[in-house]
Structure 1
């Protein structure tokens, strides 16, 4: 069995408060998350109690304004918290990222009255959010979504009808940020709404049976005439797609950070195994083939971390970061797939069994290349920034 404890990642953090924050996250991860991760993933248990603990600890609203219960932390710090959580268990790290994504529309585009009314509970009151953009027939082509919101002329309410797909926390979230069509075809006809999780007419299908992340429920949501007051409309009518794209730029950085955390966990496990496993009279970590593999794995992880942090610093400085966010999401998730695959190889036959976590890491890494814009979409985004829109 492995006899080498993983060493904490050396982080260059901007403040003493940030260093204390990372120490808190590591303590929670080692005490509350890691010991239960394998068993709960295998059984498909969603750790709602962990999210309640994170909320109580002030970790669900880190990048948002303290006026509304947030943590006032820059993205440079928030993303490193996500990385630590994802290294402990991807279901938790990704879940925090999705929750932050669900809060983004209201925090960035809501009125002061809306923010004062809703954000404190969303950021630090124990609520859990989800983000509803994708549909069965509109994934990468999100601007073609069909879910409709029609204004009731008598009450002023919006009535939402349609189906959303691939919703992380679908069926268990307390609130949903929902993108629905209120106007004509295309991106300009979409509006954002904040929908309570217990709204009448809202129901969830059975969770998808996934390759990995079995503890994180992903489900279709059905909106059967769900009534939402106009006070829960976020931003202007027709502004929803711009709000969605803004959220996704930040969300992609969250996915990148989670990917680096997962890859780091895989490297730590592989190193622990290789230093304890002996063949031909010495640890297999002594063999050059292994050492070169570890060097490549570590280099991919460090490069990914540097890339997502560079994008985060642009965001924190108020500069454009969309291209860099796409690059970070692309590179970090591809790196996670590569590193976790190599970790399985290091462990040989044991890596293919559930006795060690690397087979789970490999299964989990795959979804990161797909969520919040496939890596093919990221390449399209990057190319458009470099060469302009495609000619038709």
Structure 2
């Protein structure tokens, strides 16, 4: 890169010869001006001048990376004054990371966890640009993209400690060392993409369906299906909800009748709001058998059709209306015991809610970071936003709520690390349900205050307020999916009442 003086840059201020300065770097805008989405005027206004403040008032740093080819040099004897994010960096903005990553002590995290987070962040930062293109287009995540995530060990890592045996994990972490705090990190780092549609299409259906095969599939079925799904070569979803019944699983209408020779089931029925369903090769499906509810793993074959349901999270979620018409399913694809499908269905609710909690916590924290940055750089009526007491008050409320919820989540993660599955089933359903209830209430308040801080940018897709708009548009998914707020609140109290001492009185 060449070096220039500011006076040299100033000479390039004609309409067909435009140089500008952004944080001690020099950019030739001559070829870009006709392509500038905001028209020629904003660039012409700063031709030959320093445009740093104006640029950061309109754009994120990602734009500089995207158009780095127009950089031709730097200003002589000047150093950049703005911290430029590099892949894998841990943010230095207050409360942008949870306390351990900001230099505080933790009873939970180790240096291995820190090394793992940086390694995962580097991988996902490298995929972020492609992820956001998929999110914005609403397209199906490509096989190549999904397999990149699988090759990094990050599909299996999303499912938890039981899924990573034999998997090469980032940061040199051994599978036997992998615990729920490592898993928490994985969910948080994917949430940093701020791509809720893609996140659902890539991970949503998989994380809630694969455990049904891990825990209830026959050895031959596991050997066939798990390597394909965890590598990203095949995709999988959970098909329980129906248009007639919603969450009332006991009243599902999809039937599975055993053939006369007893070799296979014949499945008929429909499912609705099935995350990843449009892309799925396998459907872990709740069906009504002769004596009750059962679970079958159904391959995409003749008689299986899927139609896209458009939702607020975006079409990359692959949310589907699924039709099964005389679908033949081998009896070997039965998950668990016939007529005891409720055990399979209920087995993963705690973990599903845990995944949602981790993603929600980081989504809110990402918004806090953006608001903190914006309040420090945005000037209104001659003052920065951060100089206004009302803005500091909003930030304080957001920070306090995020930190409170995250600390509860860390405690629940610790409990999960020190309980086997049976103990988790007994003790964790209530606390996880109440935490989810309060977490989604927190998202509501944080999203609302963030919108007020960002103004019009908060309701504009893309650009400066991208993360805020995304959260505002989609946070209700966390309040409804995996158990609505009302159901979670009731479940939490009902679980507590199981241990209420009979003789307790005021």
CA distance in 2, matches of 1:14, 1:112: 35
Question: Relative to structure 2, which stretch is displaced further, 267-276 or 64-73?
Answer: 64-73
Partners of 2:140 and 2:279 within 8 A in 1: no
CA-to-partner distance for each residue in 1:190-220, whole Å, 9 max, x for gaps? 1111122x22211002x22222334212111
**3-state SS in 2 of match to 1:127:** coil
Q: What is aligned with 1:265?
A: 366
Q: What is aligned with 1:131?
A: 238
Q: How many residues align?
A: 382
Classify 1:233/1:345 alpha carbon distance in 2 versus 1 (closer, same or farther; 3 Å): same
CA-to-partner distance for each residue in 1:272-313, whole Å, 9 max, x for gaps? 211110123221012221112112212222222223333333
Q: Confirm whether residue 371 of structure 1 aligns to residue 465 of structure 2.
A: no
Q: How does 1:290-329 map to 2 (within 5 A)?
A: 290-317=391-418, 318=420, 319-320=423-424, 321-329=428-436
**3-state SS in 2 of match to 1:194:** strand
CA-to-partner distance for each residue in 1:325-374, whole Å, 9 max, x for gaps? 21222222222232122211101122222332122221021211111111
Question: Relative to structure 2, which stretch is displaced further, 86-95 or 294-303?
Answer: 86-95
Q: 1:81 aligns with which of 173, 181, 186?
A: 186
Q: Confirm whether residue 152 of structure 1 aligns to residue 152 of structure 2.
A: no
CA-to-partner distance for each residue in 1:61-91, whole Å, 9 max, x for gaps? 1212444658553223212211111121333
Partners of 1:110 and 1:234 within 8 A in 2: yes
Partners of 2:205 and 2:277 within 8 A in 1: no
Q: What is aligned with 1:59?
A: 154
Classify 1:167/1:331 alpha carbon distance in 2 versus 1 (closer, same or farther; 3 Å): same
Q: Confirm whether residue 45 of structure 1 aligns to residue 133 of structure 2.
A: no
Classify 1:251/1:349 alpha carbon distance in 2 versus 1 (closer, same or farther; 3 Å): same
Question: Relative to structure 2, which stretch is displaced further, 372-381 or 48-57?
Answer: 48-57
Q: What is aligned with 1:121?
A: 228
CA distance in 2, matches of 1:46, 1:298: 35
Classify 1:66/1:216 alpha carbon distance in 2 versus 1 (closer, same or farther; 3 Å): closer
| 5+ residue gaps, structure 1 | none
CA distance in 1, matches of 2:378, 2:180: 39
Q: What is aligned with 1:195?
A: 298
Q: Confirm whether residue 169 of structure 1 aligns to residue 276 of structure 2.
A: yes
CA distance in 2, matches of 1:363, 1:387: 36
CA distance in 2, matches of 1:222, 1:269: 42
Query: Cα distance, 1:40 vs. partner?
Result: 3.5
Question: Relative to structure 2, which stretch is displaced further, 100-109 or 124-133?
Answer: 124-133
What is the Cα-based RMSD across aligned positions, in Å?
2.4
CA distance in 2, matches of 1:278, 1:149: 64
CA distance in 1, matches of 2:318, 2:204: 15
Question: Relative to structure 2, which stretch is displaced further, 117-126 or 247-256?
Answer: 117-126
Q: What is aligned with 2:171?
A: none
Higher-Rg structure is: 2
CA distance in 1, matches of 2:196, 2:118: 19
CA distance in 1, matches of 2:298, 2:166: 19
TM-score between both structures, scaled by the size of structure 2: 0.70
Classify 1:365/1:99 alpha carbon distance in 2 versus 1 (closer, same or farther; 3 Å): same
Classify 1:258/1:129 alpha carbon distance in 2 versus 1 (closer, same or farther; 3 Å): same
**3-state SS in 1 of match to 2:242:** coil
Q: How does 1:25-36 map to 2 (within 5 A)?
A: 25-33=120-128, 35-36=129-130
CA-to-partner distance for each residue in 1:101-143, whole Å, 9 max, x for gaps? 1111111222334333322222235332211111101112122
CA distance in 2, matches of 1:159, 1:309: 45
TM-score between both structures, scaled by the size of structure 1: 0.89
CA distance in 2, matches of 1:116, 1:68: 13
Q: 1:9 aligns with which of 77, 81, 97?
A: 97
| 5+ residue gaps, structure 2 | 1-56, 61-81, 86-90, 101-105, 169-174, 500-506
Query: Cα distance, 1:256 vs. partner?
Result: 1.2
Query: Cα distance, 1:239 vs. partner?
Result: 2.0
Q: Confirm whether residue 110 of structure 1 aligns to residue 217 of structure 2.
A: yes
